[in-house]
Amino acid sequence: MEASGPRYRHVAVDEAQDLHPAQWRLLRAAAPARPDDLFIAGDPHQRIYDTKVSLKAVGVRVTGRSTKMRKNYRSTHEILSWSTALLVGRPFEQLADDGRHETLLGYRSALHGSGPGGVRRGFGDGRTHALVVRVRGWLDSGIAPGEIGISARFNQVCDAAVERLEAAGIRAARLRGDVSPGPDAVQVGTMHAFKGLEFRCVAVVGVSDGALPCPRAVTAAEVDRLQHDADLLAERCLRFVACTRARDGLYVSWSGEPSEFLAEAGV
Quote the pLDDT of residue 118.
Answer: 57
Quote the pLDDT of residue 178.
Answer: 60
What are the pLDDT digits (tens) for 40-56? Answer: 988 777 777 777 788 88
Quote the pLDDT of residue 150.
Answer: 96
Quote the pLDDT of residue 46.
Answer: 77
Quote the pLDDT of residue 258.
Answer: 87
- What are the residue ranges spanned by the domains of the chain? 11-68, 76-84+86-264
Quote the pLDDT of residue 262.
Answer: 82
Quote the pLDDT of residue 223.
Answer: 94
Quote the pLDDT of residue 222.
Answer: 95
Quote the pLDDT of residue 125.
Answer: 46
Distances (CA, A) of 50 to 59, 126, 153, 229, 232: 20, 34, 17, 11, 11
Quote the pLDDT of residue 1.
Answer: 40
Quote the pLDDT of residue 107.
Answer: 63
pTM (predicted TM-score) = 0.75
**What string of pLDDT tens digits covers the 267 residues of the chain?**
455 678 899 999 988 888 888 999 999 999 998 888 999 988 777 777 777 788 888 888 887 777 777 766 677 777 777 777 767 655 545 555 555 545 555 566 666 666 666 555 544 444 578 899 999 999 999 999 999 999 999 999 999 999 999 999 999 999 876 666 678 999 999 999 998 899 999 999 999 998 999 999 999 999 999 899 889 888 988 888 899 899 889 999 888 888 988 876 655
Q: What is the CATH number of domain 76-84+86-264?
A: 3.40.50.300
